[in-house]
Chains A and B, each alone.
Chain A
Amino acid sequence: MHIPDAVLDPRVAALTGILGAAGLFYGLKSVEGQLKERTTSLMGMMSAFIFAAQMVNFPVGPGVSGHLLGSVLAAAMLGPWAGAVVIAAVLIVQCFLFGDGGLTALGANFVNMGLIGSVVGYAIYAPIRRWIGGQRGILIAAMIAAWFTVLLAAGACAAELSASGNHRDFFRVLSWMALVHALIGLGEAIITGLVVRFILLTRPDLIEQDPTFALEPQVPGDGPPRRWLATILGGLGVALAVVVFLSPLASELPDGLEFVGQRIGFLAAESPSSPIPVPMPDYQLPLPSLEHVKAATAVAGLVGTLVVFAVSWGLARVFSGAGRRSERASADAA
């Protein structure tokens, strides 16, 4: 999902650059206030970890593999802004040392993967975690947040790309990005879930505590006042992610279709055989017609959401007892 140089319009690059810089400054300030002189070692080590973790390839199918992005994982371990700072460090090193992601697109990449990935991701994660409660809540919330943030980041990426070109082209880019990232997001959710599960089974204390009621028994509905802002942001994030999937279906844009018609030679290269997405790496995809893409995008969104819910419940079953036990233990300790 790294946007390279020269793809974005200079104005879009400048705008996202300013937005990213502002977000990063705010993130650094808040992390420094929270961690004090521990900032450097913890942020540096976690950045190195996310960087290394991104190099582990997961087999998806024959000849195809995917890897973790880690935005939600970092946010679940350290909190939203620390997660964003970690992602920023990873992006800067990737850009300067490896040429991965453009220098002028650094802001856009940080907005997509850091601010949306970690901060909005955490805003989705926190209310779900609080609502379900316990270690179960942590696992399920992390997986759902990972799934939705990959889609949101893809949506933001599509928005940036189409803002750089023809605005009416937005839905075409969006449906492609959403379709491909439905699959990537599924992988991200499952990897994030399995890693979080591993941590919960070994060192649950390392996971960032819910500041509002860390040691309280988790009773949905009552207890200390919820942080409404996070809940609203999270709800907004989920709603937007749903829109990412459904809007291509709703759009009746003759321009997009005309355009496809003009390029039919290019698009028809792959026969529109299967509306079900096949495993694909980041940017390489077969090219069925736009109608199929729209339908497939919506189907992928629906199926993906259901799969994430099902898998996360399945993985979290382990914690039905363990969660309560550890809560009791921590309540005893308090």
Chain B
Amino acid sequence: MRLDAPDDRGKRAGPVHRLDARYKLLFTLAFVIAVVATPIGQWRVLGSLGLLLALLVGISGAPVRSLVLRWAGFALVVGFLAVMVAPGLPARASHGLVTVILSIVVKNSLAFLMMLVLATVTSWLDLLQAMRQLGVPRVLVATLQFMERYLHVLGEELARMSQARRARSFQGGSILSWRLLTGMLGMLLLRSFERAERVHSAMLARGWDGTIRTLD
């Protein structure tokens, strides 16, 4: 997993990018539920949902290459899980093992790609705003917003600490590296706490009372 989510994804041109995030979120939810609820063996339904997804990718101009790359790594894990789970499913008797495994993988891929497309064509802030408007508790949305803001900060801090560690120690020796790595995590935890304190004081100084106010 990489922290490669730039903040300005929603600002790029494109008809889908500019759509109201609420519609996109609801559409994604409906799409994923439709995919998941499709009975095993209904290839026509899955096919048309797949076409719809392809159409969306085409219109939105989401980067196909990176979508496929992300999907490929994920599909391996899901394929394995499907192989483990499929033999126990009741549908196996009527449809055969291969069909069951294939439909799990296909349904899963459609849902996964739809989520990725949503993340590509909607900025995180727009998505959060949509969640708030759709009734997700405000505290949770504010927490998510705050989290995404500091995810990158902590990620960079971690990268700096990791670089410093690599510069000062030999590689190898797992016992030693576990001590070093947990020390790093502990340090990051301390710094996160202290940063939260500082940011909170700064927020209080600017009139924070627990509600996030936006212009729209």
Contact = CB atoms under 8 A, between A and B. Distances in A.
B196 A46 contact: yes
A77 B185 CA distance: 14
B104 A45 contact: no
Interface in B4-32: 5, 28-29, 32
B32 A52 contact: no
A308 interface: no
Interface in A253-307: 259, 263, 266, 282-284
B213 to A, nearest CB: 13
Contacts of A54: 1
B116 A99 contact: yes
Contact of A48 (B108, B137, B142, B147): B147
Contact of A206 (B118, B155, B193, B210): B193
A13 interface: yes
Contacts of B43: none
A92 B74 CA distance: 18
A90 B158 CA distance: 17
Given A6-B108, A7-B82, A103-B29, A52 B137 contact: no
A176 B84 contact: yes
Contacts of B119: 96-99
Contacts of A197: 182, 186
Given A166-B89, A199-B189, A283 B80 contact: yes
A97 B148 CA distance: 10
A284 B80 contact: yes
B178 A58 contact: yes
A102 B193 CA distance: 30
Nearest to B211: A37
Interface in A54-86: 54-56, 58-60, 68, 77, 85
Nearest to A74: B189
A165 interface: yes
A40 B210 contact: yes
A259 B183 CA distance: 47
Chain A contact surface mostly: helix
Given A194-B178, A197-B186, A283-B80, 4 more contacts: A13-B36, A32-B139, A48-B151, A99-B119
B182 A93 contact: no
A180 to B, nearest CB: 11
Given A6-B36, A10-B36, A58-B181, A49 B82 contact: no
B137 A25 contact: yes
Contact of A100 (B1, B80, B81, B137): B1
Contacts of B184: 56
A42 interface: yes
Q: How large is the interface on B (under 10, 10 to 19, 20 to 34, 35 or more residues)?
A: 35 or more
B190 A206 contact: yes
Nearest to B112: A99
B64 to A, nearest CB: 15
11 contacts: A10-B37, A31-B139, A40-B139, A43-B139, A47-B143, A52-B157, A97-B5, A98-B5, A161-B85, A166-B88, A173-B88
Contacts of A263: 87
Contacts of A202: 186, 190
5 closest residue pairs by CB, A with B: A44-B146, A198-B186, A194-B182, A169-B88, A37-B210
Interface in B134-153: 137, 139-140, 142-151, 153
B27 to A, nearest CB: 12
Given A51-B147, A169-B88, A263-B87, A41 B188 contact: no
A32 B210 CA distance: 10
Interface residues of A, number: 77
Given A7-B104, A37-B208, A49-B192, A44 B182 contact: no
A96 B104 contact: no
Nearest to A102: B111
Interface string A143-178: 000000000000000000110111001001100100
Interface in A1-52: 4-7, 10, 13, 24-25, 28, 31-32, 36-49, 51-52
Given A48-B150, A97-B124, A172-B88, A103 B32 contact: yes
A103 B127 CA distance: 14
A44 B143 CA distance: 5
A28 B144 CA distance: 13
A53 B188 CA distance: 8
A166 B92 CA distance: 10
Interface string A230-257: 0000000000000000000000000000
Interface in A95-132: 95-100, 102-104
A41 B199 contact: yes
A203 interface: yes
